[in-house]
Amino acid sequence: MNYSEALQYLHGTNRAFCKPGTDRVRALCAAVGNPEKTLPVVHVAGTNGKGSFCVILASLLTNAGFKVGRFSSPALVKINECVSVNGREIPDEEFARLVSLLQPPADRLPDRPTEFEILTVLAFLYFREQNCDYVILECGMGGLTDATNVIDRPLLSVITGVSVDHTSFLGATVEEIAEQKAGIIKENCLALWCGDNPEAEAVCRRVATKHNALLYTVPRETVRIQTADLKRTVFDFNGMTDLPLSLLGLYQVQNAANALTALEILGIAPDRKQLADGLYEARWPGRFEILSRDPLILVDGGHNPEGIARAMESVEAYFPREKITFVTGILADKDYQTVARRIAPAAAEIFTVTPPNPRALSAAEYAEVFRGLSVPAIACDSVAEAIARAVKAERPVLSLGSLYLYGEISAAVTALRGRK
């Protein structure tokens, strides 16, 4: 099986958006020697911020001299992005080899695994083969019934925060969703709560107590941003000063503080240079990322009310005296009315697009929502059209609303710069 055939096989399996339960993953793991049982895992759940937390912690550990595997989703452009070691994606040939190994046992299971479940086991196999010192494992959705939740003895279980999202799968209230996220807290293990919602924290504390798990929190009151612009952020945290962060977006400072707290819980104390390099070298595409400086075009993956609120706080900080142009699309199962109301005050004009996903809200419907908020909005047939029209006003442009747009946005910006 070559790489193309491996992709064809994966995409031909059950591509259900969410198929809760760990039985299929456990069965597939057992068929290939239970690679998950030997992995030193930091398991991460959360509504927002878990991907940024994972990439920052992985960078800190890598710069401290460790070999670090990281599993994250969804991929922005290429599926290999989901599985990496020390920041390097799994090579095509290794990906194809492992899919070939997993195909026979996966096809023999009476309840066929989903694409994400097979990818999860593939990551376990690869990290075991690579002899990783640490594995940073990000939940796909929720926690309790997520495919990644076959780790029985994590080094640390992390919940970056809880807000309302994926309500049809996880529950309608913060407490119900927190119950799902807290499902990654295991018996007699360490756990870290990074959020700021007291109701969700209470749920996590109850679950931790039930499992005799020690629950840490982040000293959020010690976070102080010194400077923040479109080049970098410098901040202080918990007695550490002048910490550099290249990831843009004010919200990334809290994600960095969360990762630094996790590092301390793990008992790892990098020297000053390792710490600074680890923070500054962390890269996470699609999170307040500058795709072009002339014209200025940014992209952010915020796609639920809390994520959009955090992105808009950064917009207000970086562009305090001007309105900007938005290119945006969203999935129909998101709270897009609330998202639109949060975006509208900062928008000079909006170009809506339809994300490449069967759950997408149409560009025409989304444009109508913004027009109902008295914001000029035009529905576009393609992302390329939206970008081309957005830059004409010579204002900053921000794309947000769905990570599924990233590949098309990136390609459109690359094509635009090529024509200049």
- Mean pLDDT, range 303-332, rounded to an integer: 92
- Mean pLDDT, range 397-407, rounded to an integer: 90
Tell me if 141 sits within 8 A of 170, measured CB to CB. Answer: yes
Nearest in space to 45 (alpha carbons), one of 152, 153, 147: 147
The arrangement of strands across the sheet holding 289-293 comes to 289-293, 296-299, 397-400, 324-328, 347-352, 377-379
Residue 302: predicted pLDDT: 83
d(CA 84, CA 87): 6
The per-residue pLDDT for range 12-21, each reduced to its tens digit, is 876 655 678 8
The per-residue pLDDT for range 254-267, each reduced to its tens digit, is 999 999 999 999 99
pLDDT above 50 for 86: yes
Burial class (CB in 10 A: 0-12, 13-18, 19+), 212: exposed
* Cα distances (angstroms) measured from residue 48 to each of 159, 311, 345: 10, 11, 23
Paired tokens of 388: 């081309």
Q: Which residues contact 133 (CB under 8 A, 6 or more apart)?
A: 40, 61, 66, 67, 68
Q: Which of 69-83, 163-177, 234-248, 385-399 is predicted least confidently?
A: 163-177
Residue 237: predicted pLDDT: 98
pLDDT above 80 for 249: yes
Tell me if 300 sits within 8 A of 51, measured CB to CB. Answer: no
The per-residue pLDDT of the chain, averaged, comes to 94
- Mean pLDDT, range 214-234, rounded to an integer: 96
Q: Which pLDDT band holds residue 398 (cuts at 50, 70, 90)?
A: very high
pLDDT above 50 for 167: no
Q: Provide, rounded to the nearest whole percent, the portion of the chain with pLDDT above 90.
A: 85
Check residues 30 and 321 and name the one with the higher pLDDT: 30
The per-residue pLDDT for range 353-376, each reduced to its tens digit, is 999 888 899 999 999 999 999 999
The per-residue pLDDT for range 372-384, each reduced to its tens digit, is 999 999 999 999 9
Burial class (CB in 10 A: 0-12, 13-18, 19+), 115: middle
H helices, E strands: number in the chain: 15, 17
pLDDT above 60 for 165: no
Paired tokens of 186: 């295991």
Q: Which pLDDT band holds residue 303 (cuts at 50, 70, 90)?
A: confident
Q: Which of 51-65, 271-285, 295-309 is predicted least confidently?
A: 295-309
d(CA 285, CA 84): 14
**Assigned superfamily of 289-419:** Mur ligase, C-terminal domain (3.90.190.20)
The per-residue pLDDT for range 138-152, each reduced to its tens digit, is 999 889 999 999 999
Q: How many CA atoms lie within 13 A of 100 on its CB side?
A: 11
- Mean pLDDT, range 58-73, rounded to an integer: 97
d(CA 23, CA 44): 20
Q: Which pLDDT band holds residue 166 (cuts at 50, 70, 90)?
A: very low
Q: How many CB atoms lie within 10 A of CB 87?
A: 14
The per-residue pLDDT for range 100-135, each reduced to its tens digit, is 999 999 999 999 999 999 999 999 999 999 999 999
Delimit the domains of the chain by residue range. Answer: 3-280, 289-419
Q: How far apart are the first and last CA of the chain?
A: 42
Q: Which pLDDT band holds residue 285 (cuts at 50, 70, 90)?
A: very high
Q: How many CA atoms lie within 13 A of 168 on its CB side?
A: 8
Q: Provide, rounded to the nearest whole percent, the portion of the chain with pLDDT above 70.
A: 96
pLDDT above 50 for 3: yes
Tell me if 217 sits within 8 A of 193, measured CB to CB. Answer: yes
Q: Which residues contact 380 (CB under 8 A, 6 or more apart)?
A: 351, 352, 353, 363, 386, 389
User: Per CATH, which fold does 3-280 belong to?
Assistant: UDP-N-acetylmuramoyl-L-alanine:D-glutamate ligase (3.40.1190)
Tell me if 59 sits within 8 A of 51, measured CB to CB. Answer: no
Residue 420: predicted pLDDT: 59
Residue 126: predicted pLDDT: 98
